[in-house]
Amino acid sequence: MRVIGITGGVGSGKSAVLEVLKQDYGACVIQADLVARKLMEPGGASYEAVVKAFGPAILNGDAEIDRPKLAEMIFSDEKKRRLLNSLTHPLVEAELRRRVLDNPERLVVLEAALPNEAGFRTMCESVWYIHAPEPVRIARLQRDRGYSEEKCREIMRSQFSETEFRKVSDVVIENGGSLEETRAQIQKIMDCGNG
């Protein structure tokens, strides 16, 4: 089995790369954020600890964690973000490892916005950094998610810098152009076996 890690900042186009790997190479894609989200659902492994730490104010009417409300809380407070990560990352790491080990596919792709957390780097044979220029990322987020430029920049500031992403990655995919250009880069990497 080959395990590739995909990382990059918000709006860099990681989803497009994941789709190419799924369609063209039959990859099984596991997204750390979706795993974390599942674990924070009522009855999930992280739910009780997160509600206890952040209080019932983070719950919606269905007793589910209101993710936008929680995100708003942690993006503006580094201490709270670290607390949330300490409660969730060990459980996310365990679940990611279980899913990788139980997977029958020859190619597994793990996607995570924070490659230094939840044991991400140690699970991957190589890590690909998906890069797009900041103006492209902001335009995508405004178009696809309806974010203001201010919100885009706030989220970007809370993530790794380009230098930090490059430092923890083995491969860089330039994803500021067309899908065909991105697909050609992926094909070259996969054909060479460098990914």
Across the strands, what pairs with 29?
A: 109
Alpha-helical (H) ranges within the chain are 14-25, 32-39, 47-54, 67-75, 78-101, 120-123, 134-145, 149-158, 162-167, 179-192
> Residue 138's pLDDT is what?
95
Output the tens digit of pLDDT for each of the chain's 195 residues: 899 999 999 999 999 999 999 999 999 999 998 999 999 999 999 999 999 999 999 999 899 999 989 988 887 788 998 999 899 989 999 999 999 999 888 999 999 887 776 577 889 999 999 999 999 999 999 999 999 999 999 889 888 899 999 998 999 999 999 999 999 999 999 988 656
CB 6 within 8 A of CB 107: no
Instruction: Give the pTM.
Output: 0.86
Query: Can you give the pLDDT at residue 192?
Result: 83
Q: Residue 180 CA to chain centroid, in angstroms?
A: 23
Query: Where do the domains of the chain lie?
Result: 2-192
CATH of domain 2-192: 3.40.50.300
Q: What distance, in Å, lies between the first and last C-alpha atoms of the chain? A: 13
Over the stretch 103-124, which tens digit does the pLDDT of each residue have?
888 999 999 887 776 577 889 9
Please state the φ and ψ torsions of residue 25, each to the nearest 5 degrees: -125, 5
